[in-house]
Structure 1
Amino acid sequence: MSVDEPEHRAATRLDDASDATDVPGATDLPDATDAPDAPVAPDEPRGSRLDDWWSRQLATPRRRAIWTWGGPILVTLVAAVLRFWGLGHPHQIVFDETYYVKDGWTLWHNGYESSWPDGADADFAAGDPNTYLDDPAYVVHPPLGKWLIGLGMAAFGAGDAFWWRATTALAGTIAVLLITLVARRLFRSTSLAVVAGLLFAIDGNAIVMSRVALLDNWVMLFCLLGFWFVLLDRSRAERELDAGLARAWGAGRDPHFGPALWARPWVVAAGAAFGAASAVKWSGLWFLAAFGVYLVVVDALARRRAGVPLWMSGALLKQAPVTFVLLVPVAVVVYLASWTGWLTTDGGYYRHWAEEGVNAWTGPLAWVPSSLQSLWHYHASAYQYHVGVHSEHPWQSNPLTWLFMIRPTNMYYAEGADGAVSSIIEVGNPLIWWAAALAAFYLVYRFARYREWQAAAILVGLAAGYLPWLMYLNRTVFQFYSIAFEPFMLLALVYVIGIVVGRPTDPRWRRQGGLWTVGIYLAVVIAVSIFFLPIWTGMPISPLFRQLHFWLPSWG
């Protein structure tokens, strides 16, 4: 049984049946069920009173349209408040902002990351951001994320810490809206999409990573965007395949391999998104590779379902090269474009390496421009740095512990004169994270048992963001890197929530029990987020109250 031919469909729905009809492309998505209906007496009531009330509320197209977009917009506004409120506090360089805020500023002024004198962090916070030097700084991450961090400062100045972090907060807010679109595409349910957005809006890891100017939030946004584009391509590609086969059969030809599909703009868009993620951090390359393979597998299964005789050969030998051409070159172009400042100026680190001594390439590669030779050398040097980082850090964490959030990162700590303390600790809402980790493991079982395509798609994204780090268990890494794959963990959790709530056609006892269970869980989750908000946003609190947030000894 294939990924696209499930015995049981996942993604159960909280909405009534009418809700799905307003979702763009809903007819392209499989219906959502958990398992065959349990035998019930003919007169046994089904659904719940909430279903009846909800059906009445969505009785008109206008109301359904309001819910279809109003729900996602509402949780996005919640996210915006939690990310932008008090964003300028603390007005000092926090954790690794010392690299990315200052690098972003010099990129917009010099075109390359520049060096700074001692004490530059304090000067920057004091309103003097122009103490940078013309000498280049050696950096090991591509420039795009720093260009984007610097955008707010380039537009509004660097005098207020709000503008150091504004674009990163905006990225985190957009990601909440985006996850609702992804969830609705996966589950054909606006209610489940709103739950996904709500969980992302109020989780501490997502809040903190939107309130400090680091690169990882941008990796998350671009990878989630690429995933959405892959999902949009899915239904379009199947329609294009059916149309191509119909034309072949109508002309009396036997399409042994099936057509090569070139009209796939969403694949091109996905390549651009994953290329942008890679231009922020190289970890984005794993998403490009994983979803490239996913597209080939999905194409093969679609050809098999369509009755193409040589479906596997057609997917691998005919369609896969086309998909590669649509996906990868645009990613390369986007990546290289992020280095435009380095390429068009003279001061960047290693900028003239190929012109020095005997560094220039000879032989068959001698024609490569010296600027690109120097750029290649820069990448080789940065790669050696990445694989060799073993310096001890008090807040480093082993990737094996990330799914259960054993060692979150303390990014800021200050003591006030009145004895109050302020912290910014990148710890997620424990009830969200631990439930999402369990849900991710359940999805592995679910896919192995039922071959549900939604489970497969989510697991591909989770694997791309998490599994590569298991190759670097001895490297100095941090829990906050997990923001890149957090959306996929939350989608796994929402997948399970959909199964728990059941369907409006389920027996009343089951449906009401599922709704009560999820309702109570969400209420407690919201309460826990309110409790943890002070240590996510740097609010002054008493040391005792701060200590109450350390649910595990390793958090302190």
Structure 2
Amino acid sequence: MTTPDRTPPDGGGDVDEPQPETSDRTRLTRAVLRSDFRERRVTTTPTPPRSAAEIEDALRRRLGLGPRGDRLDPTARLWGWLGPLIVTALAAVMRLVDLNHPTRLIFDETYYVKQAYSLLTLGYEGDWPADDANDRFIDGTYTDLVTEADYVVHPPLGKWMIAVGLHLFGPDNGAGWRFSAAVVGALSVLILARLATRVLRSAALGTTAGLLLAVDGVHLTESRTSLLDVFLMFWVLVGFWCLLRDREASRARLARRTAEARAATESQEATTGPAWLPGTGVRWWLVAAGVALGLACGVKWSGAYAVAVLGILAYAGDLSARRAVGERRWLSGSVLRGGIPAFLALVPTAALTYLASWASWFAHPDSYRRQWAAELRASGEPLPRAWLPDWLNSWWEYHVVMWDFHRNLDSEHSYEAHPILWILQLRPTSFYWPDPEPPPEACGASRCAEAITNLGNPVIWWLGFLALGLVVYAATKGRDWRAWAILAGYGAMYLPWFAYADRTIFSFYSVAFVPYVVLSLTFALGLLSGLLGPPPHPAGWLPSGAAAAARSGGWRTGTPTRLDRFLADDAAARPTAGGWAILALVVGLALVAAAFWWPLWTGQTVPYDFWRAHMWLPSWI
């Protein structure tokens, strides 16, 4: 029997202490490892501290930003403006042509146009008590307006925007009272196209988004009708754009300030971040968003939901940024250094802007309920909120009255629609159907029809509904911030209506979230065609299916062409034939549908059978 080797492995210790049996190979391996460790400990040179610029570039990569001083290629920049401007010009033509038709007040124009004229004339909304005030108004007779204030249930800003067109072109024609809506509708196409170009990093996708919005029926009909909702949509979209610009600017500032702070201590510790990172200073883009969203509230109160949802989105963006750059106390830091400053930049700004939108009401003593508090105080009766100044108390009371109206509005209407029907445009609103109908000779048929139907482009809305599922998947499973931004638009302008489903509400309110329907469809088309790359952050989601196959070839070789820069800012998009086919098919069908429904969106006189052929669903009639 072989005697165990009791020699200590390192040559020391008690020889009588039992040792585990060790092979020659194991002892040799341990000796080599010890020798290598001692050599590295002696010869390794300490890593020199990185400069603030190097640290900043590393942080910018973590935050999904390009290197410092990175500039968009001039060709990509040109395409990023040229494509959106072209589709904006198309949208403007579609919205401005024959804007005077119909030559009468249609649908709720009966309220808002006359109120806008009253604001120009009196400075506040006066009453129009005559039964034939509409007919006399379009004939140029405005003597039915009296100085007694009218009870209106929406803030004044939207009507002031309508009044701009009345001032420029006169109140005696439809082009005058619809001009502001048409201009705002065209501008919203430009904003959405530029927003999509910047966020999706593709001029092709940005142009596609603008084109789809330009040919949507909900957006088109409300851009040609003097209602309030198109102005609400516009200001929320401007606020959404400013919020996304704030995301870029605040992250760039966070990277720079964090790099400056870390550079000073790089020689001590370069692998972990400080407990709290520096603040990002005044977030001017967020202040601009507050102004835009305050103006949205000045059109309709539903803009307040956008303030709440987009504020949460801004906070979530700051929280994720602080985690990405290694802040140890990222939760408290996101509240103290990110959330509170963001709140102060956004919410008070929106509130003050909303208050300022009532300036004409404050300035005119005869405005509705303007003297309510003063009169009640003078009468000696109990005055609610007596501690408030009379002007502010009267304004508050007016809001209480408006809130009671909106909360209790339950009168039946033939075109009311539950919000669940809006997303598929299952119950559109008829804006115009003349009585009596046009005579047979007007269309060359036995019966004629002349209608303006607020019906969304079925290709856009139905495919947009399917695309919404892909957006939800990208947001939840892929952690794609772009998908979350699109969902925030839905959450701000669509979901709150489910809380008021027992009220009398209409599907034409859906114009407020049609930009996000278009963005959903554009996002899905980008993935399926291969034009949309993964989100620019380390935890990004590499698209699957056709999009992954389209980009599987890697980066293009050689000098990028103009087409490459149009397809993607980085010239890396490589759409397959199938990807091109999907994109061309959807856009082509949307254009065909727009041409098909154009007569019903613009009130053209057509044979009744032609109109009936467009009513695909019984609920559309």
Q: 1:303 maps to what in 2? A: 322
Gaps of 5+ in 2: 1-59, 67-71, 267-272, 441-446, 532-549, 554-572
Give me the whole-angstrom Cα distance separating, in 2, the residues matched to 1:510 and 1:100. Answer: 48
String of CA shifts for 1:494-529, please: whole Å, max 9, x gaps. 000001111564469971111112212211221111
Give the conservation status (yes or no) of the 8 Å contact 1:185–1:231.
no
Alignment match of 1:284 (pick from 283, 303, 325):
303
- CA–CA distance in structure 1, aligned partners of residues 143 and 179 of structure 2: 20
- CA deviations on 1:156-195 (whole Å, 9 max, x unpaired) are 3112110100001000000000001110121000000000
Deviations for 1:346-379, whole angstroms, at most 9, x for unmatched residues?
1111111101235999999645321110000000
After TM superposition, give the deviation of residue 343 of structure 1 in Å.
0.2
Shift, 1:410, TM fit: 0.3
Deviation per residue, 1:265-312 (Å, 9 max, x gap): 100000011111011000000000001111111111100111111011
1:98 aligns with 2:120: no
Give structure 1 stretches of 5+ with no counterpart.
1-24, 32-59
Q: 1:539 pairs with 587, 592, 604, which one?
A: 604
How far, CA to CA, are the matches of 1:363 and 1:201 in structure 2? 51
Partner of 2:147: 134
TM-score, normalised with respect to structure 2: 0.78
Partner in structure 1 of residue 16 of structure 2: none
Secondary structure of 2:197's partner? helix
8 Å Cα contact 2:83/2:207 also seen in 1: yes
Q: Which moved more, 1:171-180 or 1:326-335?
A: 326-335
Q: For residue 87 of structure 1, give the secondary structure of its aligned residue in structure 2.
A: coil
Q: 1:83 matched to which residue of 2?
A: 95
Number of corresponding residues: 504
What amino acid is aligned across from residue 284 of structure 1 in structure 2? G
DSSP 3-state at the match of 1:548? helix
TM-superposed deviation, 1:467:
0.7
Q: 1:321 aligns with which of 337, 340, 344?
A: 340
Picking from 245, 248, 266, the partner of 2:261 is: 248
User: Which one has a bigger Cα radius of gyration?
Assistant: 2
Provide the rounded CA distance (Å) in 2 between the counterparts of 1:380 and 1:363.
14
Contact 2:193 2:209 in 1 (8 A): yes
Q: 2:438 aligns with which of 383, 404, 416?
A: 416
CA-based RMSD of the aligned residues comes to: 2.4
Partner of 1:41: none
Partners of 2:589 and 2:423 in 1: CA distance: 21
Q: Distance in 1 between matches of 2:207 and 2:421?
A: 29
Rounded Cα–Cα distance in structure 1 between residues aligned with 2:290 and 2:393: 24
**Corresponding residue number in structure 2 for 1:379:** 399
Q: 2:183 matched to which residue of 1? A: 170
Q: In structure 2, give the amino acid aligned to 1:553.
A: P
* 1:226 partnered with 2:239: yes
Deviations 1:2-31 (A, max 9, x none): xxxxxxxxxxxxxxxxxxxxxxx9998679
Distance in 1, matches of 2:318 and 2:382, equals 42
TM-score of the pair, normalised by structure 1: 0.87
Kindly state the Cα deviation for residue 427 of structure 1 after the two structures are TM-superposed.
0.2
What SS is found at the alignment partner of 1:297? helix
Q: Does the CA contact (< 8 Å) of 1:87 and 1:165 recur in 2?
A: yes
Q: Distance in 2 between matches of 1:480 and 1:361?
A: 43
One-letter code aligned to 1:382: M
Q: 1:473 to 1:61 in 2, by over 3 A?
A: closer
Q: Which has the higher contact order (CA 8 A, sep 6+)?
A: 1
Cα contact 2:169–2:175 (8 A) shared by 1: no
Deviations 1:103-149 (A, max 9, x none): 11111111111100221111111122342110111111111000001
SS in 1 for 2:252: helix
- Match of 2:453, SS state, is strand
Structure-2 residue corresponding to 1:113? 125
Q: Tell me the CA shift for residue 247 of structure 1.
A: 3.1
- Specify the alignment match of 2:468 in structure 1: 440
Query: In structure 2, the residue corresponding to 1:88 is in which secondary structure?
Result: coil
Q: Could you tell me which residue of structure 1 aligns to residue 289 of structure 2?
A: 270
Amino acid at match of 2:425: M
Amino acid of the structure 2 residue aligned with 1:135: E
Please tell me the residue identity of whatever aligns with 1:279. G
* Conserved? CA contact 1:245–1:255, under 8 Å: no
Aligned AA (1:167): S
Q: Take 2:84 and 2:614, find their aligned partners in 1: how far apart are those partners?
A: 30
Percent identical pairs in the alignment equals 38
Q: What pairs up with 1:485-524 in 2 under 5 angstroms? A: 485-503=513-531, 505-506=551-552, 511-524=576-589
